[in-house]
Amino acid sequence: MVGRAHLFVVVVVVALALAIGCGVSGLDLDGKQCDANGSCVSGFVCDANTNTCVRPACVPKSCDAAGNPCGRVDDGCGGFLEGCTTCVSPNRCVDGRCQCVSQTCEQRGAACGVLPKQCADPNDSFCGECPTGKTCGAGGDHACGAGACAPRACQASDCGDVSDGCQGVLHCTAACGASQTCGGGGVPGTCGCTPKTCPQKGWACGSGGDECGGTLVCASACTGSQVCFNHACCVPRTCDTGGFHCGANYPDLCGGTRTCGGCDPGKKCNLDTHLCVPL
């Protein structure tokens, strides 16, 4: 019995030593002070408020990280992402992805004439003829009415196949400008671009390009002592929270640096630890 007890103690001691040596279970890592650069060993992050290494909390996926889905999808942390992508007609949101879905003449508001083909349709859509005495387009775009209809020509912003405003289809060849695509602004057959929103880019603050040649300005979600760093809210480390007593150019983890003062007479600043030591 004594031999078995001794063996059990040996096994426990060895297992504990391995766990501590490998960092398993974080026995020697949780609460350990971050290094001078605000870093921790793999699997841990530096808490800027306490300057200690902690296990990271669940970080919800951004729109970009989730692949910019449409509709409402799981963010990976028990919440949801919404508004990442707006599908442009004839695309519709199907299982978080924009997919082209052909619409009928009725859905497209056409009572007569021919409409441009959609998606992978092989041909244009024929929407019927007007009764005797009526003309397609005289009552509006692809609508029957009295009188004649004057078809329009391709405009500078027209691209691809578009309606001629009466009963036919125009095949326009306009080249869309930089940042634009055909239908990119939400109007099929027209060159345009839909600017990205702050949630779509995963930004909580700051400003930058909207991917359409404009500037996106995000209302800051930062509070208290937080500052905006790389479009995210960040709490800068101070000399006190970092445990640093002296020296300069101490990184605050939010894009800035701190100067932590000097040492008393008879001491000097250890630039590796930012602590005052005897001369």
pLDDT at residue 151 in the model: 92
Average of per-residue pLDDT across 150-165 = 89
pLDDT of residue 218: 92
The amino acid that residue 268 corresponds to is K
Read off the pLDDT band of 146 (50, 70, 90).
very high
Question: Does 24 score more than 80 pLDDT?
Answer: no
Kindly report, residue by residue over 25-75, the tens digit of the pLDDT.
334 456 688 887 888 888 888 887 888 888 888 888 888 888 889 999 999
As a whole number, the mean pLDDT across the chain is 83
End-to-end CA distance of the chain: 58
Residue found by looking up tokens 């870093």 in the block? 39
Query: Dihedral of the CA atoms 205, 206, 208, 212 (nearest 10)?
Result: 40
Q: Which stretch of 112-121, 217-226, 228-237, 256-265 has the lowest confidence by average pLDDT?
A: 112-121
Higher pLDDT, 83 or 143: 143
Closest alpha carbon to 147 in 130, 164, 135: 135
Ranking 7-21, 152-166, 239-253, 262-276 by mean pLDDT, the lowest is 7-21
Check whether 105 has a pLDDT greater than 70: yes
User: What are the extents of the domains in the chain?
Assistant: 87-148+162-172+181-193
pLDDT digits (tens, 9 = 90+) for 237-265: 999 888 889 988 888 999 999 999 899 99
Residue 200 backbone phi and psi in degrees, to 5: -65, -35
pLDDT tens, 10-19?
444 444 444 4
pLDDT at 29: 56
